[in-house]
A and B are shown apart, each in its own frame.
Chain A
């Protein structure tokens, strides 16, 4: 009848105890937790950036740039493969078009040799597709198109490299516990707890920081006009700095840097750099051969400065001077240390919350939660009396279970998540309300207390399941489809539904069964 098996009682009690035990660490400071033995639960609920303050940046790799670079390097590979063939294979019109590299053979009979020469450019990918699709017409016109999979693979590896570089740059700034992870095919999510104003990081991540050293083309003069073939005109770092014409050929690349530090030289902020072995040799050779000529230092298509080479620099170290501020020199040194990004990154979403607002939100959420719970508790007691007390015990337990679930799962609690919990307070009592109303009805129908309770629970059960499954469906879909705040809300709503079903169907029933067995009431007042 109103029996509640012993094993079930034990199970319910165990779950409740675990719920309390795993929630308690949240009321204890991190410091105190460290002093406790390790086998005790010690996880805090993770607070979202909107609650603890911090910045969320979503970066997108410039895929057009990746594709362009892919085609350029493909055309260079074609050129070098055809030239290094024995004897040379003659070609003309080697061009990068929108999505392809095209050229034409000078002599159609070179077709087979050419095919062999460029075959290595199209490798078999693990997915079974080729990286490039090569199309050769009878007249010797060739079109090479990177395949979709080839492009995707390239983008993927660019994103991996970018994550590495972003990580290094962020870590150099000394932000605490940043998270940097890939999102989707071409995005990187950067989370910076505690950093409410990420302007400096945005500006650091906005630079690819590709540094190259070029000779200056002295045949071109003035600030305007076309640069001679093999040279190009580049602007200076700041607007209004004038332009410099440099030779296209890269004499030394920033890839060969080993270290960079901001320092002072003659009272001016400068960046001192040190090359690795290869870079040092290249740098020594260029400076020896070009004493007296200006040497341009180019960063992301802008000339930082073009100092005159006074003497050969053979030690592998140099100083970059320019019109730097102290911060500017520090940032440049940081970027050079961390390395260049393989493609430009764009911030497509930024959400920053100052630490004050986060603390205010937590405070407001606590107050709203406590007042909400108290209001519901009072209302349940004046409506259902003793049964209301049982529902309230279930409600309190429900909160502990949600707290424990969030702590154990390592879920992140966000502001919408708090809203989800507070909403659960209201809805959690629904299951008990259904049961109690049903018991009232059964009593009115003339059943004795025990039967009324038994059939009240039995009949309300299907309704509770139906009602919660439908809300649960919404929570699951929100979790799967949603992003950011929606997801945070779905997590707590879903956990809340499961916990409220447990507390209503098992916990409150257990309490009432135990009470009925002991008291054997003749009449029941619900």
Chain B
């Protein structure tokens, strides 16, 4: 007997609950925006500039002692946090006034102070410094990349489908991105270049999921010329439900492995992706499809756009 996560023929009236789900999405979007503009995301040095050291020690140090030792250096804001294990510490120091010489001196000061306080058995696993011009450019190119890819995807869907689908897909996409940014604000996971890559992957995944549902909707519009639009949307979601769930599960399996075994550096990325896949799956069912009804997609639209049914070529042969 094979495993079936979703029964063969489901008839869940997804659109019946659209007011509840819309409300829920709206509330989550507002909450995310509130989190983003309130506490904000924990910007890493990629975006903020500054110095970061990741050190490994033989045993877990007294963080308070380390904090005060490094605080005494007069380097401005110094933050500490354990990184994966209690004896792996990530130290962030704000950017020092002046040029590269000053940054190098700051790193040397931190190293010396650590050696003086905790002995020399410290391994420096990572040392990073990002200057203000670079971080500014990184922010800009990241934002540009996100906006450009959204526009490019939008145009592709517009060409392959028609404008209603484009609007719906973008709504689902923006929904997912905002919620992911909200998740970053809420959890305080460091927001860095890998996070941008994660968001863009979520964009790709969310679109992928939405397109599969839309493909089916378009097909059903051609097949059932008289069916009520609401029923047709429900039917399409139900028909693709099994695939939607299956793909989410396989992707989540791979991501869970990455989260658990992939190491600390990649964990933030995996967390964002796991969240994004769940949100992306939710939005392709509860946002992308119902919104087509809201913005008034009808049989009429489909005919007007000149879609020619070309299906069942295979059947004719068989």
Contacts and interface: CB of A to CB of B under 8 A. Distances in A.
Contact of A347 (B129, B201, B252, B255): B129
6 contacts: A351-B129, A375-B256, A379-B3, A419-B269, A473-B149, A489-B194
A262 B12 CA distance: 82
B318 A364 contact: no
B262 A422 contact: yes
Contact of B100 (A202, A470, A477): A202
A193 interface: no
Interface in B211-249: 211-212, 215-216, 219, 239-240, 242-243, 246-247, 249
A481 B149 CA distance: 10
Contacts of A419: 194, 197, 258, 262, 266, 269-270
Contact of B250 (A50, A348, A429): A429
A444 B314 contact: no
B54 A357 contact: yes
Interface string B196-209: 11001101110110
Q: Most A CB atoms within 10 A — which of B133, B216, B254, B263? A: B254
Nearest to A380: B250
Given A357-B125, A368-B263, 9 more contacts: A196-B124, A354-B125, A372-B256, A426-B253, A426-B254, A463-B215, A468-B208, A481-B144, A482-B141
B107 interface: yes
Nearest to B247: A430
Contacts of B131: 346-349
Nearest to B132: A348
Contacts of B311: 459
Interface range on chain B (Cβ under 8 Å from partner)? 35 or more
Task: Classify the secondary structure of A's interface with B.
Answer: helix
B204 to A, nearest CB: 4
B101 A206 contact: yes
Interface residues of A, number: 87
A469 interface: yes
B273 interface: yes
Contacts of A423: 201, 251, 254-255, 258, 273
B263 A364 contact: yes
A247 B204 CA distance: 66
Contacts of B124: 196-197, 352, 354
A379 B127 contact: no
Contacts of B215: 462-463, 466
Interface stretch (A165-173, A280-288, A307-315, A382-390): A382-390
A155 to B, nearest CB: 16
Nearest to A56: B128
A93 interface: no
Contact of A382 (B3, B133, B196): B3
Given A376-B254, A419-B269, A473-B149, A434 B212 contact: yes
A510 interface: no
A226 to B, nearest CB: 27
Given A368-B260, A455-B315, A477 B254 contact: no
Given A426-B254, A483-B141, A348 B239 contact: no
Instruction: List the 10 closest A-B pairs by CB distance, nearest first.
Output: A426-B251, A364-B263, A372-B257, A426-B254, A347-B100, A348-B131, A471-B204, A474-B204, A481-B145, A372-B254
Q: Most B CB atoms within 10 A — which of A372, A470, A483? A: A470
A423 to B, nearest CB: 6
B257 A371 contact: yes
A186 to B, nearest CB: 11
Interface stretch (B22-30, B34-42, B63-71, B150-158): B150-158
B104 A368 contact: no
A353 interface: yes
B72 interface: no
B99 interface: yes
A471 B205 contact: yes
A459 B239 CA distance: 14
A454 interface: yes
A76 interface: no
B134 interface: yes
Contacts of B318: 1, 447, 450-451, 454-455
A346 B273 contact: no
Contacts of B4: 383
Task: Classify the secondary structure of B's interface with A.
Answer: helix
A37 interface: no
A420 B266 CA distance: 11
Contacts of A427: 205, 208, 247, 250-251
Contact of A444 (B8, B141, B256): B8
A474 B201 contact: yes
Contacts of B99: 206, 346
A486 B152 CA distance: 18
A137 B240 CA distance: 78
Nearest to A349: B134
B126 A352 contact: yes
A444 B9 contact: yes
A434 B243 contact: yes
Nearest to A58: B134
Contacts of A425: 250, 254
A361 B264 CA distance: 9
A427 B84 CA distance: 28
B218 to A, nearest CB: 9
Interface string A368-412: 110111011001101111000000000000000000000000000
Contacts of A466: 160, 211-212, 215
B283 interface: no
A444 B148 CA distance: 42
A382 B4 CA distance: 9
B204 A379 contact: no
Q: Most A CB atoms within 10 A — which of B9, B156, B262? A: B262
A425 B219 CA distance: 29
A395 to B, nearest CB: 10
B53 to A, nearest CB: 9
B200 A383 contact: no
Contacts of B317: 1
B104 A206 contact: yes
Interface string A28-70: 0000000000000000000000100000001010000000000
B279 to A, nearest CB: 16
A484 interface: yes
B208 A467 contact: yes
Contact of A477 (B128, B152, B211): B152
Nearest to A493: B201
A279 interface: no
